[in-house]
Each structure stands twice: as C-alpha cells, then as structure tokens.
Structure 1
C-alpha cells in the first residue's frame, strides 16, 4: 500500500519539528551575569535574581562577566557567599578589572579566566575618601579573602618519588592583595598591596587561562556548544537596588525623623508629615517586598513613634515612654535592614548588623540635628535660602494690631440688665443689645441692674448696681 505524497511530506515535517524541539531541550545553557559597575545594593539584587533564573532554566554553568573597580564590602561578601554555596558551578571572566571587592568575588569562583591586559587584586578596604580604613576592617577583609581562597582546597601533585600538596589558590597571596605588610618572596614586596596582571595571575594560580572572549571561556569549561543566556535587569530590580542602598536608606531615615519633628512643632496634617510618611513607605516597601522587613519589624517602628509622640504631647517630662519609643524606633529600622528570622541572627554576619545599626543611629542623629537647624533657620533667620518662606513681620499693639474684637470696649461705664444669671459668666443687655459678660464680684441674678466696669481679654466685665 502506497502512502500518499502529501501525507508523507506532512509526517516528515512533524518529525523534523519534534527532533528540533528535542534538540533545543537538551542544549546546554551557560548563564551570563554581567557586573560592569561598582559593587553595591543593586549589584547584589541583580546577583540574586540572576542565580534564581539560572536555577529555573537548569543552566550548566554561571559565568560572571566582570569589570569593576570594587565597591561595598558588605555586598561583595554576600555575592562571594552566594557563589561559594551555589549548586551550579560559577566561573568568572575578568574582562578588564577585578579590583578590591571584584577580586574577592573572583576568588570565590570555581575558575578564573582573564582577558589579556586585565588585572586582579588591590583589595584593601578604603573609606569614602579613598584612604585605608582602620585595621579592624582590614583584619576582617584579610580573613574573608583568605578563607575564600582556602575554600577551593588543595591539589596533590606527584613528581617522581615526591608528593607535593599545595593550595589551589594560595591564601597568603590572597591576603597580600589586602595587606601591604604580607611579604611573599618573588611575588609580593613589603609596602605594596598585591595586584596581578593576567600573566602573573596565571603563573601563580589565580587565573586558569588567559582568553579573549566568552566563546573561549565556554571551550575551557567544556561547554563550547552551550547557548549563552544573559541576565537582563528589570526596572523594578534597579529601583529596588537604588532604594535599598545604605546612603539612600540613611537619607530616608533622616526625612522620617525630620518630618515628624517639624510636624510636632506645628501640629496638623501638613507637608512635613506627608514627607515623613512617603519616606517611611520608600524605606520599608522594598525591604518588605525583598523579604528583609517583616510585619512585626514595621510594627515595632510604628509603636516606637507612637510612644515618642505620647511622651511629647501627653506625658510631661521625658521618661519611660520616650526612652522606650527611641529604642523601639531604632530596633525596627535596624532589623528591617538585616535578614533575621524573629531575632534569630545565626545567619547574619556581625558586620552587616553593625553596619545597619550604625546607618540608623547616624541617620537619626543627623535627622534631629538637621531638623533643629532648619527649624531655627525657618523661624529666626532673615537672610539665607529660607528667608523668603519664613514670616518675619511683627504686628505690634501700638500700631493697631490686636488679636480680639475691641468694638464693644466703648460700653465701659454704661448700665444695663442681666438677662441671664451670671455665675460668673452670662448675658447682659445694654442699649437694647445682648452681650456676653462676666461678673467681677460674686454671682448676679437675672433681672439685676449691672454696670460695665472694664473690657479685658476680649470680655466685658460687669458688677451689680441694684435690684429692679
């Protein structure tokens, strides 16, 4: 029996499509995570999302495509830990620079590949001005980078009758990238922080191959036919990274405290309160969505603010409520920055906790100081940037400015009748008009004759003349 040509052609096409689909399903994937900027909160968020996507698509490898001069140690340490604990093997391709925090991230990877002319090293911790941080920070960094190198273990090399055991990545070399005091003969001199070129890194075990492209990296790791899928950050990722940066978190705390302070100075729903609420939302929202800030942490912050307000407006002096409010406010703001589970800090590095606490305390202090400074500027300054929005006009009494109606002061000396009991306040009728009045001597009964003796504090004062 012959199969019609049309049916045969259709079956052939179906088989081809199925074969192609099956082929696509078995194609290996290398997930590329580009890091081409300073290491910060945004980089950390991108890294988390990237590793999640790599898991979802069952990638065979993660390739960190790196070119950075460094960044914040806290986030570099988080990325380092993520790489070391990854189920999927992680490789690094240094496209140009892996300085400071970039060196720490690179050393965590299973293999390091470098483009000709690239560098790795110079991992000394510096402050905002570029100066070396105190030794306690250097000590932490030395231990961290040393432990990262040690995590890759040792190699056993048999040479003739000799068996040599050596580190895959020498921890002393990693430490020399942080501390200029570490001397390694032929590699590191005293007084110089170690930085390797690609060739030097290869010779000393800190580069597994010098390559010129991602395709060459794929060949090195045995995935030359793999498809490369690159991470593409969403708008939300970038916004969340921006809002969770320590600098902006400090500014938002400053606005929260400053807004509340100004609102307390001038009660009522006004602009300062709106600013404080918006700052609180921007502070907590990304942390809540990211799983850092829990409901109870936000509740602690709200209770703290309520206790401070209670101390100021209800309870005189400054006591238990005020102190408790300050402690709870600081606690709520700090814990929302730290990934703890109901006061379980076992997975939180002490440096991360103290960094969060320091950010909150400095921001609170700055907020109070700035609020007081701006308050004085707004109230008392007649020059400067706030002069145009502050009222400096003085309305003096001798120029006719008064705060009450004085149109009834002419009634002083006239007589009238009490139309209600004055005990001591009531109503009197003078010249056929009703006025509110106050008895200066005892109570005055309805119907008694009264005389207006003075006008004071916006009120007519009368006394009894005689009964009708």
Structure 2
C-alpha cells in the first residue's frame, strides 16, 4: 500500500515535473559552478526519484534506467574530463531520452520536460547573474590586472637612461650596442652612422627603443 501511494505521488504530473526541475537545475548548476558535487547530488536525486516513481508503477524498466544512468555518468565525466561540451550534449540526450522512455505517456513526459526546462533556464540565468564571479568561465579569464603599480610591465622601463652618456660598443648603422653606465644596451640612432668607441648620449626612449646621438654632434647642434 505504501509503495502504491509513493508511486502515485511520484508519478503525479506536478510532482514529476518538480523532480525534473530539481534534476535539471542541479546538474546544470553543478556543471557551471562546481559545488563539490552537492548540486550534482541534488540533480541525481531528482532524476532518481522520477525514475523510481515510474518503476514502482510498472512503466520503467532497467533498460530505461541504463539510458538514464549513462546520461548522468556522461554529465559527471564532463566535470572531470572537459570535452568542450561534447559529453554534456550526449549526456543530456541520454538523460532526456531515459525520462521519455520511463514515462507511461511519452507525450505527457515531453510536456513535463518542456516546462521543467523553461523553469530551469530561468533559474540558471538568475543564478549566473547572481554568482557571475564564481562560474566556470572565470577559469578562463585573467582576473589579475597587470599594471605597473603592481610590478607588471609589458617591457622593461628604460626611461631612466634619458640623458645618460656612454660609448658605442659596435658601429651603429643605425642599430647596435652601447655601453651606458656599465650596462650593455641595444640602441638606435635617428639614422646617423656612429662608429664604435664613440661617445653617445641617450636622447629618447620609446618602449624598448633607445635612441642615441653622438655627443659631439649634439654639442654642435
């Protein structure tokens, strides 16, 4: 008698739809937010109770359960082995297929699935907006701002070299190497040729581009 009442309760369209909503939302939010399995457990419980009701009523078979289980396994595997959504899609197909197969009326099951999906979509969207900083997508977004104030620079800051004098180590035609304050620096002239061992002065720094002039030329100008 108890099992009959339980079966009647679980297979009632309203109850069955609620169980599907719980199942879909639980699995979907687990895939999106990785809640250490808690949401996945709620989702599995929802689908499990749905199947149990129709199994006790004599409509669902172990074959239906197998299809449902395969879908759940594929969705769980997506949590462990990212497949760019392939496992999720296959899992969802098996899951929904199992739901349809287990029902006494596939048409009614389709209606319940549509309603459950619409409700689940609304809840999932609300959850994404509410917890947008905790979603799986944040694993692929660089959160840390790479700013100079935090010690990050795209290129070494060599602006301190402006006005310093040194000596051309190699001929500058117009690029080459100079020794400035004991440091070897890649430099370039504004187009003028400067022989090796000539005195130079840094007149401009643009990123990694260090522009120099020969000291004698600068004084003459």
Counterpart of 1:318? 85
How much has 1:235 moved relative to structure 2? 4.4
Are 2:99 and 1:333 equivalent residues in the alignment? yes
Q: Is the aligned partner of 1:360 residue 2:126?
A: no
| TM-score with structure 2 setting the length | 0.51
- Between Structure 1 and Structure 2, whose CA radius of gyration is higher? 1
Instruction: Assess if the C-alpha contact under 8 Å between 1:330 and 1:361 holds in 2.
Output: no
The question of 1:266 aligning with 2:34 is answered yes
Q: Are the equivalent residues in 2 in contact too, given 1:257–1:368 (CA < 8 A)?
A: no
**Greater helix content:** 2
Q: Which of the pair has the greater relative contact order for Cα pairs under 8 Å at 6+ separation?
A: 2
- Label 1:372 to 1:236 Cα distance change in 2 as closer, same or farther (>3 A): same
**Distance 1:307-1:375 versus aligned 2 partners, 3 A rule:** same
Output the CA distance in 1 between the equivalents of 2:43 and 2:78. Answer: 19
Cα deviations across residues 229-267 of structure 1 (Å, max 9, x unaligned)? xxxxx4443332121111111110110111122223124
Report the secondary structure of 1:239's partner residue.
helix
CA contact (8 A) 2:10 2:53 kept: yes
Alignment of 1:383-422 (within 5 A): none
Q: Distance in 2 between matches of 1:276 and 1:316?
A: 21
Alpha-carbon distance change, 294 to 375 in structure 1, aligned in 2, over 3 angstroms: same
278, 285, 290: which one aligns with 2:45 = 278
Unaligned 5+ segments in structure 2 are 134-221
Quickly say closer, same or farther: Cα 1:331–1:305, change in 2 above 3 A.
same
Separation in 1, partners of 2:66, 2:57: 17
Closer, same or farther: CA 267–366 of 1 in aligned 2, 3 Å: same
Q: TM-score, normalised by structure 1?
A: 0.26
How has the CA–CA distance of structure 1 residues 269 and 315 changed in structure 2, closer, same or farther, with 3 Å as cutoff? closer
Q: Distance in 1 between the 2:37 and 2:106 partners?
A: 35
Q: CA 1:371–1:285 in 2, change beyond 3 Å: closer, same or farther?
A: same
Q: Shift of the alpha carbon at 1:379?
A: 5.2
| Aligned counterpart, 2:61 | 294
Secondary structure of 2:84 counterpart: coil
Q: 1:369 to 1:298 in 2, by over 3 A?
A: farther
Mapped to 1, the partners of 2:74 and 2:44 lie a distance apart of 17
* Matches for 1:365-376 after TM superposition, within 5 Å: 365-376=118-129
CA distance in 2: counterparts of 1:305 and 1:281, whole angstroms: 10
Post-superposition Cα deviations, 1:198-221, rounded to whole Å, max 9, x if no partner, equal xxxxxxxxxxxxxxxxxxxxxxxx
Higher strand share: 1
Whether 1:247 aligns to 2:34 is no
The answer as to whether partners of 2:67 and 2:94 remain within 8 angstroms in 1 is yes
Q: Aligned equivalents of 1:302 and 1:256: distance in 2?
A: 13
Q: Aligned in 2, Cα 1:274/1:311: closer, same or farther, shift over 3 Å? A: closer
Matched pairs, number: 134
The change in CA–CA distance for 1:238 and 1:309 in structure 2 (over 3 A counts) is closer
1:32-431 matched pairs, under 5 angstroms: 234-264=1-31, 265-270=33-38, 272-311=39-78, 313-319=80-86, 321-338=87-104, 352-378=105-131
Distance (Å, rounded) in 2 between the aligned partners of 1:274 and 1:323: 19
Deviation track 1:407-447 (CA, whole Å, cap 9, x = no partner) reads: xxxxxxxxxxxxxxxxxxxxxxxxxxxxxxxxxxxxxxxxx
Residue 37 of structure 2 aligns to a residue whose secondary structure is coil
How far apart are 1:363 and its partner, in Å? 1.4
Seen in structure 2, the aligned counterparts of structure 1 residues 273 and 307 have a Cα distance that, compared at 3 Å, is: closer
